[in-house]
């Protein structure tokens, strides 16, 4: 499978979006030249968007990804990863272990799951390389990417998180003249989305079927000796601290400060009356938890900061590409492409079929805007209004959007950049296997959407 670099894909998608918007959404009596300038201004506005779904969201996601990576580099997680590699003796059982473990971790946090899976895959590669054994390493790398196909149904999923924030749903359609704000709930708790019967069923199916499928596929694929030399993770020497440096080397400061963050987060969730537990789970709250855990598990500021240095390096590709996708989102949102797509699916939908069409439209839009939070910001208002008009379940439609968004990550290599950096694989090597994940996951999501 021949593919350009993920950055080239982002540029190509930008050009395609521009061309499609130029001819599909041009207003009457407007020249193509003038509208081209308008589209460029939309693109620039999206590029530097300072709203909740723009650069602020980008920092939230980058911080979440870095902290997830930092956690994965801590000694407890390194010990867990080393123990898991013990059970990896061939391609099939390695694929089973990687998919099963990555899905579980990703349901807690997508950034941690992505990096955890990547480091686990890398450790397996190093083990087979050192022992001179054969393995289908690209398949193991693809197995480590499975977390991006389950994350939006977990507790770090952008759409369920945003919907759980007080006032978020109403604020999204506050400018609509047709929506009845009194009928829109102030918030939708996780018990109605992430912990709903449908989503629990989906996650159990993914947790059972995906590892078993990759186990049996692993028995059929061709294995070969490792051909690349993978460098082990940098181990940091503990120099003798003197003077004020003792603060950086002190476990008391690190664990103490980290514990304060965790205790405050728990109080905020379960004790402070203004913050019911199911409404404080948002990206900032999760980052607060990860920040505290990372400080505690690394034991001192020095190890924590060294881990941050290594983690930040693997976010380079995402950092430079995020603005490009925000630019694409700016064109799609301001030109009306997103509204056109969503409204088309809404028009051909009935109460029973709308979640299915939401699933497909979310998957299509995710190819061009691989950002769950960004997609919710532009597609969410139409979803809310349509659910109100058709009198159908908003909770189910939110999860349908989540499923569609996460599924096509298996076709869009944007979020695979940190994994590719850690495993030293290329996108074209893992894509044949992520396509299999796409097909299996698509069936699981569709069947559950039809049953519930």
Give the lowest-confidence range in 1-15, 224-238, 386-400.
224-238
Chain segment 424-438, per-residue pLDDT in tens:
898 889 999 999 999
Residue 232 or residue 92, greater confidence: 92
- Which of 368, 394, 415 is CA-nearest to residue 162? 394
- Which of 289, 314, 325 is CA-nearest to residue 55? 325
Burial (Cβ within 10 Å: 0-12, 13-18, ≥19) of residue 12: exposed
Cα–Cα distance for residue pair 198/208, rounded to 1 Å: 16
Given a cut of 50, is residue 153 above it in pLDDT?
yes
Would you tell me the crossing angle of helices 6-24 and 32-47 to the nearest 10 degrees?
140
- Which of 295, 286, 284 is CA-nearest to residue 260? 295
Structure tokens at 12: 């190509």
Chain segment 40-63, per-residue pLDDT in tens:
999 998 888 776 667 777 787 788
Burial (Cβ within 10 Å: 0-12, 13-18, ≥19) of residue 205: middle
Chain segment 260-282, per-residue pLDDT in tens:
999 988 887 776 655 544 455 66
* CA angle in degrees (0–180, nearest 5) for 271-197-269: 10
The average pLDDT across 291-302 equals 91
pLDDT mean across residues, the chain: 84
Residue labelled with tokens 């976010």: 315
Within a 10 A sphere around the Cβ of 379, how many other Cβ atoms? 26
Chain segment 169-227, per-residue pLDDT in tens:
887 776 555 556 777 888 898 899 999 999 999 999 999 999 999 999 999 999 888 76
- The rounded Cα 276 to chain-centroid distance in angstroms is 25
- Which of 191, 112, 194, 111 is CA-nearest to residue 159? 194
Domain ranges of the chain: 6-12+36-224+313-451, 247-312
Residue 396 or residue 3, greater confidence: 396
pLDDT of residue 359: 93
Give the lowest-confidence range in 227-241, 341-355, 357-371, 404-418.
227-241
């Amino acid at each position: 499978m021949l593919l350009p670099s993920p950055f080239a894909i982002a540029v190509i998608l930008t050009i395609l979006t521009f061309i499609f918007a130029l001819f599909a959404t041009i207003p009457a009596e407007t020249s193509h030249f003038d509208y081209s300038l308008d589209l460029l201004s939309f693109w620039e506005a999206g590029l530097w968007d300072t709203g909740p779904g723009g650069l602020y969201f980008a920092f939230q996601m980058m911080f979440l990804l870095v902290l997830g990576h930092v956690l994965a580099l801590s000694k407890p997680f390194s010990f867990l990863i080393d123990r898991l590699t013990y059970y990896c003796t061939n391609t099939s059982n390695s694929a089973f272990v990687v998919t099963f473990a990555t899905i579980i971790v990703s349901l807690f946090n997508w950034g941690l799951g992505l990096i955890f899976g990547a480091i686990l895959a890398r450790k397996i590669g190093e083990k087979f390389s050192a022992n001179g054994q054969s393995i289908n390493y690209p398949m193991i790398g693809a197995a480590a990417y499975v977390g991006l196909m389950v994350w939006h149904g977990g507790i770090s999923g952008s759409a369920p998180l945003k919907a759980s924030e007080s006032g978020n749903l109403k604020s999204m359609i506050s400018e609509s003249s047709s929506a009845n704000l009194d009928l829109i709930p102030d918030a939708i708790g996780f018990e109605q989305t992430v912990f709903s019967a449908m989503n629990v069923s989906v996650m159990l199916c993914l947790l059972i079927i995906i590892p078993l499928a990759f186990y049996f596929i692993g028995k059929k694929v061709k294995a070969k000796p490792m051909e690349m030399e993978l460098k082990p993770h940098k181990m940091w020497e503990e120099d003798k601290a003197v003077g004020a440096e003792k603060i950086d080397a002190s476990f008391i400061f690190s664990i103490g400060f980290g514990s304060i963050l965790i205790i405050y987060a728990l109080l905020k969730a379960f004790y402070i009356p203004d913050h019911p537990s199911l409404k404080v789970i948002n990206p900032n709250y999760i980052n607060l938890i990860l920040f505290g855990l990372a400080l505690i598990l690394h034991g001192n500021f020095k190890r924590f900061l060294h881990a941050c240095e290594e983690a930040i390096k693997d976010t380079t590709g995402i950092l430079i590409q995020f603005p490009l996708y925000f630019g694409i989102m700016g064109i799609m949102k301001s030109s009306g492409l997103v509204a056109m797509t969503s409204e088309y699916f809404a028009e051909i939908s009935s109460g029973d079929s709308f979640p299915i069409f939401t699933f497909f439209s979310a998957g299509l839009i995710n190819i061009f805007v691989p950002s769950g939070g960004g997609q919710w910001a532009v597609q969410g208002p139409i979803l809310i209004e349509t659910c109100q008009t058709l009198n159908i379940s908003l909770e189910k439609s939110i999860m349908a959007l989540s499923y569609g968004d996460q599924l096509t990550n298996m076709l869009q290599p944007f979020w695979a950049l940190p994994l590719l950096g850690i495993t030293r694989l290329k996108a074209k090597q893992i894509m044949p296997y992520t396509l299999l994940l796409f097909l299996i996951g698509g069936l699981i999501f569709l069947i559950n959407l039809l049953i519930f």
